[in-house]
Structure 1
């Protein structure tokens, strides 16, 4: 490390304050929020400094090669089924954007339907956010993003000719979290959730779009679904196969079927369904029932059936229990032909049981190891399944074996490998536990290079999240695999607030108990040190989004524990976030009520930007995306400036905001590779791993 801090671009302070519910909070770097020319110049100089220090003494091409080698095992986009055919995106080496092919088998060679290169904006390649073929297989709907932000627009393609159809809706979708579009069973149109104004305003509505025909023009109108006055939550529509029923599932993290409509009665309006439920009821329409995984009266989950014509669907006593709560955590259902495949977690590892349409368990899928199934980040997105296939096609990986794709046919004993894992990491995996302050055991996985000496303290990276009911699973992650291949030890910590162990685990670190997640992290770090796996001088921490906030709290409250901290696409200013419509929605849901002074003062104790004070801090590498709509780059800018000014030690505080990058879900391969390579270079340098030496 350098003997003195690097020469940072100067950052002035201003006499600015934020008043939230009467609580006056200084905001000395407010000027770094708007995208002015001054801010852009400062940001570019910060990026140049970060790159030069991260790669100091290393060959950037060699680090990139390491990332590319392990990125070969990245999670594939599973093909979508319709009318006996399979649609999937194909990334051709050297191509600026993927193409979509259609085949009669999930990974058959097939034929091209459309090349997304045509949808680029002239400067940036097109990114495929989602794809959804119509039930009759004749029209393909695509979500296209060109700036990494996740904001995408619908394109419609004639499958037979590859022609781009006129009349696609013009509304902008905020993300792919609501699954893109939900086709009507007769393929005459679809529903989709989109913004009603500018992305910054974050107001969404469900629209109904009718496809133009020879006899009628297309149309796009708002669908009046009763989701509750003022709700900003996400909504996804689900149809029965026979076209009679449609259900509106609402809430991205803990969805419930909030409304139902009987389409066999054209004049029948939407009827409120499950409207009084704090838990999750997430499933699919089967006949005249909604069969779902719920955590109501079952923290680890159970499977229930709700009659779609129930007089009081809010009363759990009217639900029929099909699979009772057990020792595993029930997570989701997938319709497959006449069956439902039930995904579960057994000590975070995947298990899949098979149910018939009555809900009886008829078998179990023989998975290829102890690992994880591919699944969307949020439960609501997982409900967007389109036309149910006759076979269960799934992606699976372990921390040391990259993603493969497999097929299970109902009634068969074995699975078929459709696409074998491309990468095997030479490492060992163990499952350990730390004990939190309140006596609760906090599990974590350790991924250690094979042949390394377990008695010697190792350069170690903790990766954690612990929020939003989202599980951190024992799955393959390319950038983490590259870190282990470089000689590091990876620790995946399963903190409270996540979804790995059911509803009680999630709520234990939610809203007013958010601090529990931070204490769990410290318990894991201290346990790693106490057991001799590592030392503070060899311990790093990373996390993204809400996990980036976790990193910010950890480095400002316990700086002595870490050698390096790497917040990614981070949320760092909870007070300033209340001025952003999207973040205000998130903060109210997951942290506190910003209209309550006591709650605002509690937010102050959780907000890293406000926690910064003079001190000796570890090395920090902040990475953000210039077009991130969830955690805008000003969070990282303001935090970096304040931390650089407060640093009394020698370790560098680095910031790199990447252009044409968002929150990660729509970032192009080239930009994502550059991000991962610089992140890894910083870790190699800071932890003293096997350097990728400069050539020449």
Structure 2
């Protein structure tokens, strides 16, 4: 998968653009041209299913990156920097970003343990979050991890480090954590013993901690195989789960689960096995994750048997169930699945006798989409999507009833965290126009603000959200959220930015982002379009934007734009479209199908050459979402969604700002570079095509500074070219 809301479960294949080479290239400053540096062409033609596919930029795909490509990226970066720095209004936009973004304290709850909350916090002035612990009821907090501790202060280039995952042991004495460098997402796994301060490196092979033994004596984790080669399509193949014993040499770690262990259910070497245990059950769940995102196959064994290397795996669910989450509690396994109920249901199956015919649906499908579940002592806490806002419900183990948690406000609900030994749940809430809060509910099902997240140091009273449907050409209602100031007039004169995604069944759930208010301060309007391919309306909404149905994704975005024009929110010449990651398909095909409709396109770490994506390290598994060239019908679907191959000469396309991170492991920079190169051949100085390269980031900005800098460039570019 390219972009994941639940990336803590992800261990996809990652191919890197070498940071050292990128930094060296960044230190060289080639001469700046008045026009973008055109890429060398070397035509290669493939014939697929009787159709000739010509590609003049295949040379960019070489791994590791060639010296020529690194030099080309730097030339593009230098040219883009020259143009972006000269855009009007930058100082005003930057001042607004500093007010709304830099001044905000960001808090993310990472884990609830039997006694503590584990959370990450980035205070104003800090570049990356630090990890802390504090008692449930408040009190003195403890700094656990500071990624910037020991950072060099001299002039030597150093990639920013960030903590990407944490998992505290049940006894609250050992913290497993992962850390990456420069956004490369190759995570070092460590175990920090809190009493002694000993920090032990467990693996450098992209480690992922998944669960602890109940007595805290051992940690289950996944890692890449020895000898995995960055950039190869099989990079993540044969990833396995291991058991590490505390205070033992990691070289003595024992193999716990491989993809081909247990019953044969169709799993393959490209999938990722995880071992999930908790203190509420003597059973271990062996979950085989499809490309790191959802547990396609599930099996159980006794934890005691697994710990001594003698598991007896028994299947409990498979691919047809379309499981989203699964947990063990006592002798039962609870599974949130969408195979029979497209909006989701929760069924219970006995670990002792997991016969499909004996399953019991404990939370049936309802009117709203069930998005996730979390295990607490008193029951399962279930997140629902109700239209474009969230809700939280509890399935009670004691009564079997499903009841709503009483929320004090209406907004998004996210990151629901529980501990199986503790009653209640902790979770985040926010909305587009009010900042995040960390909430807690007990058995009374009444949610209260914990005060863990400080309030924003400014008022958002002048910003409003309008929610409605836009109507697609086939009569389908596409939910949209319009973020605007209270004095915005429907006179067709507003610069308007549409943000959409539409893939993997992932919900576009932006929540509060202070940076977006800076765009509104300049008279802009922001629209979040929940196009088909996402999960906003259930699995059928996802399938409606998948493979051969993918055109619905970008045509929904086009129809949203037309709806907004008719309503007077904006007009042609004033519309920008922003797509990130898999959203690159949406933005790329929207502008190649209707170039006259949009003034600006923002392609942020986007996939634009879908015919070649499955050959990348992050490609295996994505055929389930987009298709494979190995099948004729899916080849044609991939070609239809391939923006790179839909660019035509002499067409006036929108002004384009393409963005890549030099260390991006999910969408390699050549995907962005090929799209930019072909568009730059059209040489339209009134509608420039720029390629912005961040040498300290990967698939997303790694520091607060780099995030603000990116938003400054995006907003300045949009406002400069949506003048009508």
TM norm structure 2: 0.86
User: Is residue 630 from structure 1 mapped to residue 705 from structure 2 by the alignment?
Assistant: no
Of the candidates 265, 276, 284, which is equivalent to residue 246 of structure 1? 284
Aligned pairs for 1:95-494 within 5 A: 97-105=128-136, 108-118=139-149, 123-165=158-200, 168-173=202-207, 180-196=209-225, 197-200=228-231, 201-213=235-247, 218-221=252-255, 223-224=257-258, 225-226=261-262, 228-249=266-287, 250-251=289-290, 252-256=292-296, 258-265=298-305, 267-313=310-356, 317-358=357-398, 360-361=400-401, 363-375=403-415, 389-411=422-444, 413-418=446-451, 419-422=453-456, 424-425=459-460, 426-473=462-509, 475-494=511-530
Contact 1:464 1:495 in 2 (8 A): yes
Superposed CA deviations along residues 91-148 of structure 1, whole A, max 9, x for unmatched, are 3555565443332237644222333224769712321101111111111111010121
**Mapped partners of 2:274, 2:674: distance in 1:** 36
Deviation at 1:229, TM superposition (A): 4.3
Deviation at 1:218, TM superposition (A): 4.8
Contact 2:277 2:303 in 1 (8 A): no
Contact 1:119 1:126 in 2 (8 A): no
Q: 1:125 to 1:162 in 2, by over 3 A?
A: farther
User: Is residue 64 from structure 1 mapped to residue 107 from structure 2 by the alignment?
Assistant: no
Q: 1:688 to 1:220 in 2, by over 3 A?
A: farther
Contact 1:354 1:365 in 2 (8 A): yes
Contact 1:409 1:415 in 2 (8 A): no
Instruction: Give 2:13's aligned residue.
Output: none
Gaps of 5+ in 2: 1-32
**Mapped partners of 1:18, 1:581: distance in 2:** 21
Q: Could you say what secondary structure the match of 1:582 adopts?
A: coil
Superposed CA deviations along residues 667-688 of structure 1, whole A, max 9, x for unmatched, are 2333222222211221232234
Contact 1:283 1:332 in 2 (8 A): no
**Mapped partners of 2:97, 2:522: distance in 1:** 10
Q: 1:372 to 1:353 in 2, by over 3 A?
A: same
Instruction: Give 2:696's aligned residue.
Output: 660
Aligned pairs for 1:497-646 within 5 A: 497-586=533-622, 588-614=623-649, 615-646=651-682
Q: 1:216 to 1:561 in 2, by over 3 A?
A: closer
Contact 2:186 2:204 in 1 (8 A): no
Q: 1:65 to 1:310 in 2, by over 3 A?
A: farther
Q: 1:473 to 1:100 in 2, by over 3 A?
A: closer
**Mapped partners of 1:556, 1:215: distance in 2:** 55
**Mapped partners of 1:482, 1:318: distance in 2:** 55
Deviation at 1:60, TM superposition (A): 4.7
**Mapped partners of 1:549, 1:307: distance in 2:** 42
Deviation at 1:445, TM superposition (A): 1.0
Q: 1:330 to 1:269 in 2, by over 3 A?
A: same
**Mapped partners of 2:529, 2:315: distance in 1:** 40
Gaps of 5+ in 1: 174-178, 376-381, 690-696
**Mapped partners of 1:101, 1:281: distance in 2:** 29
Q: 1:213 to 1:638 in 2, by over 3 A?
A: closer
Q: Which segment drifts farther, 205-214 or 439-448?
A: 205-214
**Mapped partners of 1:632, 1:595: distance in 2:** 22
RMSD after superposition: 2.8
Deviation at 1:398, TM superposition (A): 0.5
Deviation at 1:566, TM superposition (A): 0.3
Deviation at 1:645, TM superposition (A): 0.3
Instruction: Give 1:694's aligned residue.
Output: none
Instruction: Give 1:49's aligned residue.
Output: 79
Contact 2:93 2:519 in 1 (8 A): no
Q: Which segment drifts farther, 204-213 or 536-545?
A: 204-213
Instruction: Give 2:720's aligned residue.
Output: 685
Contact 1:549 1:567 in 2 (8 A): no
Q: Could you say what secondary structure the match of 2:645 adopts?
A: helix
Contact 1:371 1:474 in 2 (8 A): no
**Mapped partners of 2:344, 2:633: distance in 1:** 34
Q: Which segment drifts farther, 592-601 or 299-308?
A: 592-601
Deviation at 1:291, TM superposition (A): 1.9
**Mapped partners of 1:601, 1:668: distance in 2:** 40
Deviation at 1:53, TM superposition (A): 2.3
User: Is residue 32 from structure 1 mapped to residue 60 from structure 2 by the alignment?
Assistant: yes
**Mapped partners of 1:508, 1:263: distance in 2:** 40
Q: Could you say what secondary structure the match of 1:10 adopts?
A: coil
**Mapped partners of 2:688, 2:635: distance in 1:** 31
Contact 2:489 2:569 in 1 (8 A): no
Deviation at 1:79, TM superposition (A): 4.2
User: How many pairs align?
Assistant: 667
Deviation at 1:465, TM superposition (A): 0.7
Superposed CA deviations along residues 301-350 of structure 1, whole A, max 9, x for unmatched, are 2222111123423xxx4321222222111111122232221110111210
Deviation at 1:368, TM superposition (A): 3.7
Contact 2:203 2:223 in 1 (8 A): no
Deviation at 1:268, TM superposition (A): 3.9
Contact 1:253 1:469 in 2 (8 A): no
TM norm structure 1: 0.89
Contact 1:29 1:638 in 2 (8 A): yes
